Copies of this chain bind each other. A is one copy, B any other.
């Protein structure tokens, strides 16, 4: 039997981060799909009052929930032998800084609005038209952020430190959700593209590349290695 149950939504970048991490650590887990736009009683019970995902249900010590993608990552990394978070406090802070930047800034300013306008809203209100102004503004911010990320990767293999870390997991989770929708112009950001190609090849990432959202075909390069 698995030790964990993850309440998630396939395209949610914060959920993807935890899925990618669970695979990377080879931690056995089950998945329960939650639609972020619906009120789900079980999710609200596990993470009151609003039931926000991702939620990691730990199936021991009488079952308990760990919530928030950043907090879940800290939890899982502490309980498993891994170099995904470096040893020194200074290097840890570098990894966490990138993680937090994605969790807060990139997510709020780019991913969340794009996902809401292009996917969530259209599933909830099929006849509602997209708020083009909001979407365009988020896409502009997305490109601004991608240009910054491209600079960050100048002469560096990973986003923080010498090794593949939680920072790279967090970044790949966010970018892959937007890539599913064809939002990333890879050729404009060569450093990011080269980095993503390496991350994409990890076996732990494979299940994310097979995600299919009913009604939304993945963009043509989504699961390809020559894009």
Q: Which chain A residues have a beta carbon within 8 Å of chain B's beta carbons?
A: 49, 58, 61, 64, 66-68, 70-72, 74-75, 78-79, 89-90, 92-93, 96-97, 100-101, 104, 108, 148
Contacts and interface: CB of A to CB of B under 8 A. Distances in A.
Oligomer copy total:
2
Given A68-B97, A68-B100, A97-B67, A75 B92 contact: yes
The 7 closest A-B pairs by CB, nearest first: A71-B96, A66-B93, A68-B100, A75-B93, A78-B89, A67-B97, A71-B93
A83 B71 CA distance: 18
Contacts of A66: 90, 93, 97
A151 B68 CA distance: 21
A108 B105 CA distance: 11
Contacts of A96: 68, 70-71, 74
Contacts of A104: 68, 104
A67 B100 CA distance: 10
The A interface, classified by DSSP as helix, strand, loop or mixed, is: helix
Nearest to A78: B89
B108 A70 contact: no
A89 B68 contact: no
Contacts of A58: 90
A104 B103 CA distance: 10
A207 to B, nearest CB: 25
B70 A100 contact: yes
Contact of A89 (B70, B79, B90, B97): B79
Contacts of A93: 66-67, 71-72, 74-75
27 contacts: A61-B90, A64-B90, A66-B90, A66-B93, A66-B97, A67-B93, A67-B97, A68-B97, A68-B100, A68-B101, A68-B104, A70-B70, A70-B96, A71-B93, A71-B96, A71-B97, A71-B100, A74-B92, A74-B93, A74-B96, A75-B89, A75-B93, A78-B89, A78-B92, A79-B89, A104-B104, A108-B108
